Homo-oligomer: A and B are copies of this chain.
Amino acid sequence: MDMPDWVASVDPCDADCPSRDLLDLIGDRWSLLIMLVIGQGFHRNGEIRRRVGGISQKMLTQTLRALEANGLVARHDFATVPPHVEYRLTPLGVSLGHAVGPMFQWIEASYPAVLRARAAYAARQAQAA
């Protein structure tokens, strides 16, 4: 099996396995996209919401709270009026950003291959029917 060595150390059976826990956090629809946008230099609620197309205010707040609670994002409330709040990646958040870099690069690079695979699969299904 030509998978990387680290796979041997991951045991998805184990409820203690951090994979389950953290995959629930960063493996949802919005978390990584939001961290990405913050990393691109958009720090304010409205900026992020406009930049991450299709997200609702509810999900944005909810996801930001979760990221904050897990130490990936820091929330700075300037306590002014009108309100001014900025979100920044913590060092931990930045390190995660680097860790998911290869995955995003894979997505960019492999998207055509995935699209081809989908077409081939659809063709096989149509033929079988």
A residues sitting closer than 8 Å to B (CB atoms) are 1-4, 6-10, 12-15, 18-24, 27-29, 32-33, 36-37, 39-41, 51-53, 68-72, 89, 92, 94-108, 110-111, 113-114, 116-118, 120-122
Contacts and interface: CB of A to CB of B under 8 A. Distances in A.
Q: How many chain copies does the complex carry?
A: 2
Contacts of A27: 27-29, 32
Q: Top 9 nearest A-B pairs by Cβ distance?
A: A71-B117, A99-B106, A3-B39, A18-B111, A13-B53, A12-B33, A69-B121, A99-B102, A27-B27
A105 B5 CA distance: 11
A23 B31 CA distance: 11
Given A7-B40, A15-B53, 19 more contacts: A1-B39, A1-B41, A4-B101, A6-B101, A7-B97, A12-B37, A12-B53, A18-B108, A19-B32, A21-B111, A23-B32, A23-B107, A71-B118, A71-B121, A92-B113, A95-B110, A96-B103, A98-B102, A100-B103
**Binding site of A, secondary structure by majority: helix, strand, loop or mixed?**
helix
A115 to B, nearest CB: 9
Contacts of A41: 1
B120 A6 contact: no
